[in-house]
C-alpha cells in the first residue's frame, strides 16, 4: 500500500473527509482505492454508520471512478453495497450514471427487488424507492441506447412494463420522434396480443395512438397545402388586379399630360 493510500484510509477512519477530497484531487487514482478488506473507497463510505453525503457527491463526480471491484477479498459489489444501505438519497446521487443498472453480471433491479422482499417493515418504503430508481434508470437507458435486451431481462426479473414511471408516463411512451429506438419499438410491438399481457395491451394502445396522430398530421399537412395553394391563387388575382389598376392610372396620367 502506497503512502498516499495509507493517508487516505487514515483520513476515512478519522472522518477527515476534507482531507480525503484533497488527496483524491492530488492523486485521482485514489478514488478507486481498495482497503485490506477488499472494500473500495465508495463502498467504505456508503456503508459508514453516518454516510458522508458531501464526500459521496464528490466521489460521484470523479471522471475515473470505477464501479468494478477486482479485489480477491471482495465479498460484495460496489452497487450491491449501495443498494444494501436502504438509502435512496445515496442512490439518487448516481441516478444519471447508467452503470447503476448493473450489479456485477446481473441487473441491479434483481438485487434491489430481493432487498425489498427481505426488508424490515420500517425499511420497506426506502427499498421501494430504490427499486423504483433502478427500474426507471434501466428502462430509460434501454430506450436511449435502443437495447431491447434490457427490457427482456427486466420482464424476466418480474417487472411489469405496463406500469407507469414516476412521472406518470408509460415506458413505451419514451419512444418519440427525437428518440425513435426502432429495436425497442419492435420489442414492444412483439408484445402485442402476446398472452394478453398488460404491456402488449398498452403497446397496442400506444402504437394505435401514434398511427392516429400520424394520420391526423397527414390530413393537417394536406389542408395546409391546399390553403397555401388557395392563398397563392388569391395573391395572384390581387397582384393582377393591382397591376391592371396601376396601368390604368399610368395611362390616364399620360393622356392628361
Q: What is the pLDDT of residues 40-57, one digit of tens each?
A: 999 999 999 999 999 999
Share of the chain above pLDDT 70, in %: 73
List of residues 6+ apart from 61 with CB closer than 8 A: none
* Residue 105 confidence (pLDDT) above 80: yes
- Nearest CA to 203 among 144, 160, 162, 151? 162
Q: Tell whether the torsion through CA atoms of 21, 23, 29 and 33 is positive or negative.
A: negative
The percent of residues in the chain predicted with pLDDT above 90, rounded, is 65
User: From CA 187, how far away is CA 154, in angstroms rounded?
Assistant: 13
The residue extents of the domains of the chain are 1-76, 86-185, 191-257
The helix/strand count (H/E) of the chain reads as 11, 2
Element (H, E) at 103: strand 102-103
What was the pLDDT predicted at 40? 94
pLDDT bucket at 76, cuts 50 / 70 / 90: confident
* pLDDT of res. 223: 60
First-to-last alpha carbon distance for the chain, in angstroms, is 108
* Segment 91-109 mean pLDDT: 95
Mean pLDDT of 226-237: 62
pLDDT above 60: residue 88: yes
Q: Which of 78, 56, 51 is nearest to 67 (CA)?
A: 78
Phi/psi of residue 108, nearest 5 degrees: -65, -25
pLDDT of residue 257: 52
Q: CB count, 10 Å around CB of 117?
A: 10
Q: What mean pLDDT is predicted for residues 165-172? A: 92
Checking if the pLDDT of 184 tops 70, the result is yes
- What's the confidence (pLDDT) of residue 75? 77
Task: Average the pLDDT over each of 29-38, 161-170, 196-205, 226-235 and give the range with the smallest value.
Answer: 196-205
Instruction: Please name the helix (run of DSSP H) or strand (run of DSSP E) that holds residue 102, with its range, or none.
Output: strand 102-103
Q: Using 50, 70 and 90 to split pLDDT, how confident is the model at 12?
A: very high
Residue 155: pLDDT above 90? yes
Residues 107, 155: Cα–Cα separation, whole Å:
11
Note the pLDDT of residue 208.
57
pLDDT band, residue 243 (cuts 50/70/90):
low
Give the pLDDT mean for 169-179.
91
CA distance 128 to 157: 16
9 contact partners, CB below 8 Å, separation of at least 6: 33, 35
Q: What pTM was computed for the model? A: 0.75
Residues 6+ apart with CB under 8 A from 131: 109, 112, 113, 115, 116
Given this model, what pLDDT does residue 157 score?
A: 95
- Long-range interactions of 154-163: CB distance < 8 A, separation 24+: 154/107, 154/109, 155/199, 157/107, 157/109, 157/110, 157/113, 158/113, 159/109, 159/135, 160/198, 160/199, 161/199, 162/197, 162/198, 162/199, 162/201, 162/202
DSSP 178: S
Q: What is the pLDDT of residue 204?
A: 57
Mean pLDDT of the chain: 84
Q: What pLDDT sits at residue 8?
A: 97
Amino acid at each position: 500500500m502506497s503512502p498516499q493510500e495509507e493517508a487516505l484510509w487514515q483520513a476515512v477512519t478519522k472522518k477527515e473527509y476534507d482531507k480525503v477530497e484533497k488527496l483524491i484531487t492530488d492523486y485521482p487514482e485514489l478514488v478507486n482505492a481498495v482497503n485490506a478488506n477488499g472494500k473500495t473507497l465508495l463502498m467504505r463510505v456508503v456503508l459508514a454508520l453516518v454516510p458522508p453525503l458531501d464526500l459521496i457527491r464528490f466521489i460521484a463526480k470523479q471522471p475515473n471512478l470505477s464501479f468494478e471491484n477486482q479485489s480477491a477479498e471482495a465479498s460484495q459489489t460496489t452497487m450491491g453495497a449501495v443498494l444494501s444501505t436502504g438509502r435512496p438519497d445515496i442512490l439518487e446521487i448516481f441516478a444519471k450514471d447508467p452503470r447503476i443498472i448493473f450489479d456485477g453480471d446481473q441487473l441491479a433491479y434483481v438485487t434491489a427487488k430481493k432487498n425489498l422482499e427481505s426488508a424490515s417493515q420500517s425499511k420497506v418504503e426506502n427499498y421501494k424507492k430504490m427499486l423504483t430508481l433502478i427500474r426507471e434508470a434501466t428502462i430509460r437507458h434501454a430506450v436511449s441506447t435502443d437495447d431491447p435486451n434490457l427490457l427482456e431481462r427486466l420482464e424476466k426479473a418480474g417487472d411489469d412494463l405496463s406500469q407507469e414511471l414516476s412521472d406518470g408516463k408509460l415506458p413505451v411512451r419514451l419512444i418519440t420522434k427525437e428518440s425513435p429506438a426502432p429495436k425497442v419499438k419492435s420489442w414492444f410491438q412483439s408484445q402485442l396480443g402476446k398472452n394478453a399481457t398488460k404491456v402488449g395491451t398498452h403497446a397496442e394502445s400506444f402504437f394505435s395512438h401514434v398511427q392516429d396522430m400520424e394520420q391526423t398530421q397527414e390530413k393537417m399537412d394536406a389542408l395546409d397545402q391546399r390553403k397555401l395553394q388557395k392563398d397563392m391563387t388569391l395573391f395572384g388575382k390581387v397582384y393582377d388586379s393591382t397591376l391592371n389598376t396601376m396601368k390604368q392610372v399610368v395611362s390616364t396620367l399620360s393622356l392628361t399630360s
